[in-house]
Amino acid sequence: MTTLTKQPDPGLSARAPRKSRKRGKPSDGFRGIGDLKVALFFIAPAMVGLILFYLVPTIRGIYLSFTEYSILGDPEWIGAQNYERIAKDPLFWNALGVTAEYVLINIVLQTALALGLAILMHRVAKSTLIRGALLMPYLMANVIAALLWFWMLDYQIGIINQIIEWTGLPRVAFFGSEQWAIPTQALINTWRHMGYTALLIFAGLQAIPNSVYEAASIDGSKAVSTFWRITLPLLRPVLVLVLVVTVIGSFQVFDTVAVTTAGGPVNATRVLQFYIYQRAFNEQDFGYGSALAVILFLILAIVAFIQMKFLRGNQSDLD
Amino acid sequence: MMNKKAIGAVAVAAAAVLALSACSGGSSEGSAGGDAATGEISYWLWDANQLPAYQQCATDFTKANPDITVKITQTGWDDYWSKLTNGMASGTAPDVFTDHLSKYPDFLKTKQLVPLDDSITVDVSQYNEGLADLWVGQDGKRYGLPKDWDTVALFYNQKMATDAGITPEQMGSLTWNPQDGGTYEKAIARLTVDKNGKRGDEAGFDKNNVAVYGLGLPGSDAENAGQTQWSYLSATTGWTTTDKNPWGTHFNYDDKKLQDTIDWWASLAVKGYMPKLETTVGANAADNFGAGKAAINSNGSWMIGQYTGYKGIDVGIAPTPQGPEGKRASMFNGLADSVWAGTKKKDAAIKWVEYLGSSACQDVVASKAVVFPAITTSSEKAADAFKAKNVDVSAFTQHVTDKTTFMLPITDNASKVAGIMKPAVDAVIAGKSPASSLTAANEQVNALFAK
């Protein structure tokens, strides 16, 4: 704006704009560079963080996946050998299956329950206290939640097995049996994340204008068909976002497994993230672990892409 | 200009951080800088029960060497090794640490240990036979000084044994074979009691509602080569884990002798004499013994303090049973202290290791009656200290005097072998696969050594 105040001779007003434009050009450009500098200065902390903690480790991880590396000593280039070994590794395929089972149980239940909770929050429970209480499990650290359930579901001393025994049924080895170990952990994390997911969906519900509902009720639509024909379609962008985020999070399940079953019994809970940890940190095979991590990364990218593409997550039907 | 400079500075700083982190990630072994003989050195161990004894050693050591102090850090076994490895990679590992036979080959391979015999000469004949040899690498150099040893025996509930009509003499002369389990299985069956009070060897025994198991089960123990749970049986059949020890390169889990042993062991769970594997997840076998839910636990001598410490339980210690060839067997494990190659105070560190390996320190450890020190005279003192506490430890020591011990298998790739064998033996104990399935796991293990 300084250029304008410096406008010379008012008598030359006709030429003044041109002049000022002429003078303005380099100064605009100059200001642009000045802005860039300032912008860079403010971007720098995030940029440095991004490069240092995301970009460099990602590239290094991809590089390491082509090496044999035990953390002590130097990585040794071995080409695609790690990937060839993974293709033939029964534990990798087992991990994929176990992880898929976990994600399926976790996501289906969690999304259905969260949707129900969100609608209840929207229609019935207007009290902030109740809405807040739904978030309580999410405020607990993952490891604490896992250990608490591990203790409550314990075969010998767990309160839930005590109750089961009182009802006359046989005790259940929730974490110890191969059939139960994954569903148990999927349910624990469903319990923990349900409230948070419901909150996201609830926000989406609030974005649907009331006029749409009014129009529906004038047309004589019942509550159930209003839900299927109005609420759900208009909620789609939010649901897609929630699904993408929760599916990615679900694929990365680790801490619950690490503090309870550690991959066992046998291989029943050796989920992909735990298998990566085991190969890299327990067995000091960081090359192999990196290759597994790259594969998980690709799987997640493909899953997210498919979800966005087919559920049209970037479009809204509200406009 | 200022901004440009600032950006430049940030970039330089970022590059420097990257370069630094790259350095420390790669070549910490080369950074063995100083050989200082004074100052504070750090020492790590994992067993909290032994901390007071070694604290005493550290105090005595500083008294004799006023210019060296020792800072001891205790970290539980579960975190100890990953913490140590990360410390080595980032240059923050302790100068001296308690080392384990199953772990040190990996440290040798990555050149993390200081050869001790370049600096000191120690009379290795003072140690119990064989212990010192275990810490000599494939290059013929010594990488640890023996500090203690352990063997395996049977802890049993004396009241339960009396109730079952089993005398201490009978407990002390059990026999075993992989076909019918010998008198060992008979005792286990007799000591098993169901909820109606019927014993495991009586008609009408309900194996699905057991109140007291004859034999406790902490897990498949395959990650430790069956050290406390089945190696005391499999070794009596003449089976050995590897083709040679130390530094074997071929594993024998495909051998019928081993597979018969594991099959027999797994059959105890089917018969209801031992808990099912699925019920042991999250449970502590020793605590279940302390709660009166199991009559016998096989375990190592480092557990004496815990087993004799349970209130209201009168614990007897019986030797492991005699095998088909009339001999007992126990894995013989020995810990040692090693010096990290990245230490800045090598001379002081070695001096401390020398002290830890001397009778001055090992007699202190002996007097606390927690473990058996490596030095022969010190471990006799430890046996006396246990006796003074009214604990008869002869079931552990007789393996050494009768020479019925065999060494813990020392090989490369130990953690990878454990990663393969644990789920494999888990599956057998869980009743999911027959022991013959271990042949496939054995092929995977041997493939690790094929390169």
Residue of A38, A264, A281 lying closest to B426 (CB–CB)? A264
For the beta carbon of residue B219, count every other beta carbon within 10 angstroms.
19
* CA distance to partner chain A, nearest, from residue B275 (Å): 11
Which residues lie across from B367 on neighbouring strands? Answer: none
pLDDT at A101 over 80: yes
| B7 neighbourhood in chain A, CB within 8 Å | 37, 40-41, 44
Asked if residue A297 has pLDDT above 90, the reply is yes
Task: With both helix axes pointing from N to C terminus, report the angle between B359-367 and B51-64 in degrees, rounded to the nearest 10.
Answer: 150
CB contact under 8 A, A48 and B29: no
Q: Please state, in angstroms and rounded to a whole number, the distance separating the CA atoms of residues B329 and B335.
A: 19
Q: pLDDT tens digit string along B27-36?
A: 333 334 457 7
The letter for the amino acid at A171 is R
What top-level class would CATH report for the domain B152-332+408-448?
A: alpha beta
- Contact (CB<8Å) A72/B89: yes
C-alpha radius of gyration, chain B, whole number? 24
d(CA B425, CA B411): 19
What mean pLDDT is predicted for residues A99-122?
93
Smallest Cβ–Cβ distance between A41 and the set B7, B26, B276 belongs to B7
Helix or strand holding residue B148 (H, E):
strand B145-150
B375 to chain A, any CB pair closer than 8 A? The answer is no
B283 with A175: Cβ contact below 8 A: no
Which alpha helices (H) appear in A220-265, and where do they start and end? 223-226, 232-251, 255-259
Query: 105-134 in B: which are within 8 Å (CB) of A?
Result: 106, 109-112
Domains B32-149+334-393 and B152-332+408-448 belong to one CATH topology:
yes
Label the pairing between strands B96-99 and B210-215: unpaired
State how far the Cα of B280 lies from the Cα of B220, in Å rounded to an integer.
Answer: 10
Distance CA A239, CA A26 (A): 49
Nearest-angstrom CA–CA distance, B45 and B148? 13
Query: pLDDT (tens digit, 9 = 90+) per residue, B121-171?
Result: 888 899 998 889 889 988 999 999 999 999 999 999 999 999 999 999 999
The whole-angstrom separation of Cα A20 and Cα A236 is 52
Of A56, A265, A278, the CB nearest to B278: A265
Nearest neighbour of B277 by CB, restricted to A48, A176, A284: A176
Q: Which among B88, B278, B423 is the nearest to A72, CB-wise?
A: B88
Out of A10-24, B52-66, B85-99, B412-426, least confident range? A10-24
SS (HEC) of B344-398: CEHHHHHHHHHHHCCHHHHHHHHHCCCCEECEHHHHHHHHHHHHHCCCCCHHHHH
| Gap between the Cα atoms of B431 and B442, Å rounded | 19
**B3–A175: do the CB atoms touch at under 8 Å?**
no
What residues contact residue A292 under an 8 Å CB cut-off, 6+ apart? Answer: A86, A92, A272, A275, A276, A279
Q: For residue B96, count CB atoms less than 10 angstroms from its CB and return exposed for 0-12, middle for 13-18, buried for 19 or more.
A: buried
- Chain A residues contacting B via beta carbons under 8 Å: 37-38, 40-41, 44, 48, 51-52, 56, 70-74, 150-151, 154-156, 170, 173, 175-178, 260-261, 263-267, 270, 278-279, 281-285
Contact at CB, A281 and B4, closer than 8 angstroms: no
Respond yes or no on whether the N-terminal peptide bond of residue B246 is cis (omega within 30° of 0). Answer: yes
Distance from CA of A140 to the nearest CA of B (A): 21
- Which residue on chain A is closest to B208 by alpha carbon? A170
- How far apart are the CA of B244 and the nearest CA of chain A, in angstroms? 23
Domain B32-149+334-393 in this protein, CATH class: alpha beta
**A78 interaction partners in chain B (CB closer than 8 Å):** none
Tokens standing for residue B418: 């454990």
- Cβ of A155 within 8 Å of Cβ of B281? The answer is yes
At residue B350, φ and ψ (nearest 5 deg) are -65, -35
Helix (H) or strand (E) holding A58: helix A56-64
- The amino acid at residue A315 is Q
As beta bridge partners, residue A258 has none
Q: What mean pLDDT is reported for chain A?
A: 85
Collect all residues of chain B within an 8 Å Cβ-Cβ radius of residue A261. 281
Query: If you average pLDDT over residues A187-203, what whole number do you get?
Result: 93
Inform me whether the C-beta atom of residue B450 falls under 8 Å from chain A C-beta atoms. Answer: no
Chain B, 265-304: which have a CB under 8 Å from a chain A CB?
Answer: 276-283, 288, 293
ipTM attached to this prediction: 0.78
Neighbours of B79 (CB within 10 A): 10
Torsion of CA A96, A276, B100, B344, to 10 degrees: 180
pLDDT at residue number A31: 59
Domains within chain A, CATH numbers bracketed: 2-64 (no CATH), 88-310 (1.10.3720.10)
In order of A122, A239, A304, A316, the CA distances from A115 in angstroms are 10, 9, 20, 18
Q: Tell me what pLDDT residue A292 has.
A: 96
Which one of A52, A260, A267 has the shortest CB-CB distance to B423?
A267
**Residues 6+ positions from B51 with CB-CB distance below 8 Å:** B45, B72, B74
Nearest-by-CA chain B residue for A70:
B110
User: B298 to chain A, minimum CA–CA distance in Å?
Assistant: 21
High-pLDDT (> 90) share of chain B, %: 72
pLDDT of residue B386: 92
**C-beta atoms of A173 and B278 within 8 A:** yes
Beta carbon pairs, A and B, within 8 Å: 105
Does residue B204 have a pLDDT over 70? yes
Give chain B positions within 8 Å (CB) of A31: none
Please say if the pLDDT value at position A5 is more than 50. Answer: no
Note whether A44 contacts B10, CB cutoff 8 Å: yes
Report whether the peptide linkage leading into residue A265 is cis, meaning its omega lies within 30 degrees of zero. yes
Contact B185, B191 (CB under 8 A): no
**pLDDT-derived band at A281, boundaries 50, 70, 90:** confident
pLDDT at position A231 over 80: yes
pLDDT at B451: 65
**Which residues lie closer than 8 Å to B223 by C-beta, 6 or more apart?**
B418, B421, B422
Output the pLDDT for position B283: 82
Rg over CA atoms, chain A: 28
**Domain locations along chain B:** 32-149+334-393, 152-332+408-448
